[in-house]
Amino acid sequence: MLVRLDHGSPVPLGDQIAAAVRGAIADATVHPGERLPAARALADSLGVNVHTVLRGYQQLREEGLIELRRGRGAVVTADAAAPGRARLTDGVRALVADARALGMSDEEVVNLVRGGLAGS
Amino acid sequence: MTVSPAAPPAVSPRPASGLRAPLVVAAAHLLACAAFLTVFLTHRDRLPDPVATHFSGSGGADDFTTRDAFPYGALGILLIMALLCTGLVYATRGHRVLVGLGCAVAGLVGTVVVAVVLNNAGAETADGVRLGPGTLGAALAVAAAAAGLGVPAGGRGPAAPQAKPDATVEPAPRFVLREGESALWTRGAGSRPVLVGGASLLAAGALLVPLAGWAAGLGLAAGGVVLCACFAVRVTVDRHGLTVNVLGLPRPRVRIPLDRIAEAGHRHVEPLRDLGGWGYRAVPGRSGFGLRSGPAVVVRLTTGSEFIVTVDDAATAAALLGALAERERERRHAAAGTTPGGG
């Protein structure tokens, strides 16, 4: 798993960490059920605050990609579909970024997705 | 004692298959079991009860087992050794050194248990039974003979990949670190055969405690823990350097700081050939973790020696490590340049 943090980027560091871990789950460098490095160790490696790493991990938990357990740390969801879900989440983020760049409103984006769902 | 328990089975001289070497080792151990059982059953009525089963350095008996329990204990030890040796040979795809070792263990243990039965036979009480250095000599001779017969019977061993020019370290592809960028690469590494070996050592240790006493059992169990520790390591490349953590814990760990790294690359590593075995190893000029055959991060240290750790995706790890080490060098040069004589 490769994590690159650009401290000069406008993207929050927590989001950058989440994106890197999501990418690793998506391309199966990290397997379902595998334990991720402890937040403290990751923070020390990257020279950032532990809370920054935890924010990234928290985001991945909300996406259902990892589980956070007291004492066991962060574990990739033991679900064979985890890589696919990670790719899907990446796709959604790309979609949202593209839509924002085009100046679309939330309503328009949701309608676009709804149209896609209705068409399938 | 005249029984040689490790005559190799007849094997046709076909090319080595994956199962041939383990079968030869298993057969040697089964012959040891058969030799023991034959000798035990034919001498059963002449054995004292209890039987002397452990002997001090001077040859006198110092531990005893009831006659009914004795064959189970002896067979237990023989079968544990059989499983360990056969498993190890299977895991290494019939490496010749291990085939020889496996057959030698069969010969040694087989001869000793047979000698124990023969020396007990006819004794009034177990107290007078002795097992001198002569037995050990005979056992070693049988072990050597078994190894000598077993190695050619076990086939040629795994195909030697030495023909490949893989001794040269592939330089890591360029990895460009932007200014103010921090980067980390981390991955778990392990080896299933080592875990199986560690678990079986733990089990053997637990079994040996009631049979042979605390010292022997604990020794084996400790070996099992060390092996299992080697199974679960995490390799990390970051601003501190290259770190290998054992069992996912902060410590123990082995860390190569960036300022000790002269060059980082990757190549195919065979632990037995390159490091002399599996686990954490050190040979002259080279040390590291050899957990399986395959890609490995190879670091040339400023001292000139090599540090190796086998891990998947070693190319990425080596590339990042090289870039981080380079940046560290530039940083120190810049610091030295801006503060001349600043000490």
Listing DSSP states for A19-32 in one string gives HHHHHHHHTTSS-T
Q: Tell me the CA distances in angstroms from B29 to A37, B18, B110, B144, B205, one per residue in order.
A: 44, 19, 8, 14, 19
Contact residues, chain A to chain B, C-beta under 8 Å: 1-8, 29, 34-35, 37-38, 41-42, 44-48
Among residues A5, A7, A29, A9, which one has the least CA distance to residue A18? A5
The whole model's pTM is what? 0.61
Which residue of B181, B185, B187 is in closest CB contact with A6?
Answer: B181
Residue the block writes with tokens 């064959």: B71
pLDDT of A106 > 50? The answer is yes
Q: How many CB atoms lie within 10 A of CB B176?
A: 7
Name the phi and psi angles at B310, rounded to 5. -80, 125
Task: Write down the pLDDT at residue B172.
Answer: 64
Which residues of chain B have a CB within 8 Å of the CB of A35? 188, 248
Which residue of A4, A5, A37 is in closest CB contact with B234?
Answer: A37
Amino acid in position B202: L
- Counting the structural domains of chain A, the total is 1
Task: Write down the pLDDT at residue B341.
Answer: 47
- Considering the domain boundaries, does residue A6 fall inside one? no
Q: Tell me the CATH number at A34.
A: 1.10.10.10
- Considering the domain boundaries, does residue A7 fall inside one? no
Q: Which of B181, B182, B242, B243 to mutate to test the interface with A (most CBs of A within 10 A)?
A: B182
Q: Encode chain B (343 residues) as per-residue pLDDT tens digits.
A: 444 444 444 433 334 457 888 889 999 999 999 999 999 889 888 888 888 888 876 777 888 888 888 888 888 888 988 998 888 888 777 777 788 888 999 998 999 889 888 888 878 787 878 887 788 888 899 989 998 888 888 876 654 443 333 456 776 667 888 888 999 999 988 766 667 777 888 888 888 777 776 777 777 888 888 777 766 789 999 999 999 988 677 778 899 999 999 999 999 999 888 888 878 888 888 999 988 889 999 999 999 899 999 999 999 999 999 999 999 999 999 988 765 544 4
- Considering the domain boundaries, does residue A44 fall inside one? yes
Task: Write down the pLDDT at residue B17.
Answer: 54
- The average pLDDT across A61-90 equals 89
Task: Report the DSSP beta bridge partners of residue B316.
Answer: none
Residues 6+ apart with CB under 8 A from A60: A18, A21, A22, A66, A74
> Do the Cβ atoms of B185 and A47 come within 8 Å?
no
Amino acid in position B324: L
Tens digit of pLDDT for each residue in A19-28? 999 999 998 8
- Contact predicate B99/B93, CB 8 Å: no
Tell me how far apart the alpha carbons of residues A41 and B164 are, in angstroms, rounded to a whole number.
39
Task: Write down the pLDDT at residue B166.
Answer: 45
Complex ipTM above 0.90?
no
- Considering the domain boundaries, does residue A31 fall inside one? yes
- The average pLDDT across A88-112 equals 92
Which tokens in the block code for residue B268? 């195919």
Q: How many CB atoms lie within 10 A of CB B21?
A: 29
- Contact predicate B31/B131, CB 8 Å: no
- Contact predicate A9/A48, CB 8 Å: no
Task: Write down the pLDDT at residue B209.
Answer: 78
Tell me how far apart the alpha carbons of residues B36 and B148 are, in angstroms, rounded to a whole number.
21
The C-alpha of B180 sits at a distance from chain A's nearest C-alpha, in angstroms, of 6
- Considering the domain boundaries, does residue A2 fall inside one? no
Which tokens in the block code for residue B190? 């392990």
Tell me how far apart the alpha carbons of residues A114 and B138 are, in angstroms, rounded to a whole number.
84
- Contact predicate A68/A74, CB 8 Å: yes
Residue the block writes with tokens 């686990």: B279
Tell me how far apart the alpha carbons of residues B66 and B51 are, in angstroms, rounded to a whole number.
6
Chain A, nearest residue to B237 by Cα: A45
Amino acid in position B135: T
Task: Write down the pLDDT at residue A104.
Answer: 93
Q: Taking the mean position of all CA atoms in its chain, how far away is CA B236?
A: 25
Among residues A37, A36, A3, which one has the least CA distance to residue A20? A3
Residues 6+ apart with CB under 8 A from B216: B208, B209
- For A112, the domain range is 13-119
Which residue of A1, A7, A29 is in closest CB contact with B182?
Answer: A7
- Contact predicate B324/A45, CB 8 Å: no
- Contact predicate B196/B152, CB 8 Å: no
Among residues A87, A99, A98, A3, which one has the least CA distance to residue A52? A3
